[in-house]
Chain A
Amino acid sequence: MSTAGPLVICYGNDLRGDDGVGPVAAAAMAADVRFADVTVLSAHQLTPELADDVAGASRLVVVDAICDDNPPGTVNVTPIAAETGDSSLTHHVSPGTLLGLVQVLHGSTPAATAVTVSVADLDDDGLTPGVAAAVPHVLDVVAGLVLSGVGVSGA
């Protein structure tokens, strides 16, 4: 599959509590008219074969959970730079490595941004209240990125 328009890859494990915020956001985007012309993929993790999809996109946004010191539900917006050295990969790749793969194989990359959500719990089923409440803001941020090309600052 390839796309000429914006591509959003939401990834995570929906059996691991807040790590599922990516797939939850993807499901919400599927029902949101703002994303009607946007290709939204829901994935368990980033894998090398996504390189072709990324190469064909006009813009890339990845949505993921992040463990950091911010309050749960904080939405962070970070540009992704192509990386060329990731020697410790397992069956998945980092956003930077994925972009590096695209750069090498296709000669250029779309503008790429990571939208990450600070998490509270990775053990129980479902999202914690703070992370669940952040999902609408995630959609607003991603919509801003892919539709206008202008980033929206995180909450």
Chain B
Amino acid sequence: MPRSLVIDPVTRIEGHSRITLQLDDAGEVTDAHFAVTQFRGFEKLCQGRPFAEMPSLMARICGICPVSHLIASSKACDGILAVKPPKTGEDLRRLMNLAQIVQSNALSLFHLSSPDLLFGFDADPATRNIVGVAQLNPQLAKDGIYLRKFGQHTIFLLGGKRIHPSWIVPGGVDAPLTADKRDEILAMIPEAYAAIERAMTWYIGNLMSFVEETDVFGSFPSAFMAMVDDKGNVEHYDGRLRVVDADRNLLMEFDGEDYAAHIGETVDDRSFLKPTYLTAFGPEEGVYRVGTLARAIVGNAFGTKRADEALGIFRERFGIAPSSSFHYHYTRLIDVLFCIERMEEHLLQDDILSTRVSAKAEVNNNVGIGVSEAPRGTLIHHYVVDDDGIIQTANLVIATGHNAAAMNRSVRQVAQRYVHGEHISEGMLNRVEAVIRCYDPCLSCSTHAMGQMPLHLQLLRPDGSVVDEVRR
């Protein structure tokens, strides 16, 4: 009789979740399900609010990627106003978005995943943590800390707050950049380059330690989606959404405003997270991935010198469309490198200190759709307002929702490889969790993280009684 293995909650991701593994009579995994167990309800509470409140309200969705929500929300509001921000206003938005991607990707790789990568997946969890990383590889820990500080301090200099800045507003940004702040950010960039390049060297040097994980951590054919610019290169702020198949053949390319014609959302009775799919292929066949791996596959190039060199090395080693989600880690590093380069480019522009940074207007459209690339992938905010600008409906399509179906497949693949019988080992447990961490899911963005729960995994008999249990 089929039995279930439940991992509840999953640790070292943002938010709370549960993994359920379905076992057959022989104790082998037949299916897996990743569920988000928190209720959020942001789409509902937006209703009845003035649209101009949306950016600051949406930023409260998450303490890790508030800037992503500010960007997508403000772009949706731009659509309602029917305005395009002045060039400097857009460039300053880009600058803050890039800074946030640096700090968020650094957090994911250095603080959450590097313990696994440094100590191995079977290591004692008492040492497999950020303090253990600092003991074994102090430079790696320092580089992670520096990149986090670089991103966070840039956000602070631009927006006046490190978390939940309200500087990005409908029509542009609230205040121009000053010369002293520009110079302060520029002064941090050389060490940011040094830190990410040291980390990349370390990561590449350790790749051979994870050949097995690379083979089974979400290694399956799927489509990939990311934003591209008019040259088909990686773009994080404004461009068209491109979808390629597992061999990197173009499936479709469309404006973000047309997302609903190409992306469907499903309701999962067991989870508060709504998985998405490509409507042209249906929920089963329309699985796709977003985020750093997708950006590295979908884009023709990054369009900056250092990142393109790094991308060339990556593609030379793994091909133009590697299927393993383990490569989210590698591509996260390239993404950071690219963001630093783009930040430097923007800061060196002559007009970056222009004081014309916002456009003003009244409500001119009843619908606004804003799309951007968040650290974890494509983010869509879709608002409908009445003639007074009061929100009637809001739909938020989050990167973790895009990746939900792929995460389920990844968990199943890993579980089928490592989970056998009725005993739960630490290595087994951690690998099942670690494949989820490859995607760096931000469950706060689909629910809301509050507090912290210990790890709790249960192996249940068909009658629901516990045959094995792990807490940490």
Contact = CB atoms under 8 A, between A and B. Distances in A.
Interface of A: 1, 15-16, 43-45, 47-49, 51-52, 83-91, 93, 97, 100-101, 104-105
A90 B449 contact: yes
Contacts of A51: 145
Contacts of B127: 85
Interface string B107-136: 100011000000000000111111110110
A90 B13 contact: yes
Given A87-B125, A89-B12, A105-B142, A45 B63 contact: yes
Interface in B7-44: 11-15
A104 to B, nearest CB: 4
Contact of B130 (A44, A45, A93): A93
Interface stretch (B146-154, B202-210, B324-332, B364-372): B146-154
B130 A86 contact: yes
Given A83-B131, A90-B13, 13 more contacts: A44-B164, A48-B107, A84-B135, A85-B129, A87-B11, A88-B452, A89-B12, A91-B14, A91-B111, A97-B131, A100-B131, A101-B141, A105-B142
A93 B131 CA distance: 10
Given A101-B141, A105-B138, A90 B131 contact: no
A52 B153 CA distance: 13
B244 interface: no
Nearest to A86: B129
Interface of B: 11-15, 60, 63-64, 107, 111-112, 125-132, 134-135, 138, 141-142, 144-146, 148-149, 152-153, 162-164, 449-450, 452, 454-455, 472
Contacts, number: 89
Contact of B149 (A15, A52, A105): A52
Contacts of A104: 131, 134-135, 138, 141
Given A45-B63, A48-B145, A86-B129, A105 B152 contact: no
Contacts of A1: 153
A91 B146 CA distance: 16
Contact of A89 (B15, B130, B149): B130
Contacts of B454: 88
A80 B313 CA distance: 46
A contact patch SS:
loop
B145 A49 contact: yes
Given A45-B63, A87-B125, A90-B449, A101 B148 contact: no
B455 A88 contact: yes
| A-B pairs, 6 with minimum CB distance | A87-B125, A49-B148, A104-B134, A85-B126, A49-B149, A100-B131
Given A90-B449, A91-B64, A48 B128 contact: no
B135 A87 contact: no
Contact of B63 (A44, A48, A89, A100): A44
B198 to A, nearest CB: 15
Nearest to B162: A43
Contact of B129 (A16, A52, A87): A87
Contact of A101 (B13, B107, B131): B131
Contacts of A86: 129-131
A87 B148 contact: no
Given A88-B454, A104-B135, A47 B129 contact: no
Contact of A97 (B12, B130, B163, B472): B130
A44 B107 CA distance: 16
Nearest to A15: B60
A14 to B, nearest CB: 10
B46 to A, nearest CB: 15
16 contacts: A47-B107, A48-B107, A48-B145, A49-B145, A49-B149, A52-B145, A52-B149, A85-B127, A88-B11, A88-B454, A89-B11, A93-B130, A97-B129, A100-B131, A104-B141, A105-B134
Contacts of A49: 145-146, 148-149, 152
B129 A48 contact: no
B452 to A, nearest CB: 6
A22 to B, nearest CB: 13
Nearest to A102: B134
B60 to A, nearest CB: 7
Nearest to B15: A90
Contact of B452 (A16, A47, A48, A90): A90
A105 B138 CA distance: 6
A44 B153 CA distance: 15
Nearest to B454: A88
A15 B61 CA distance: 12
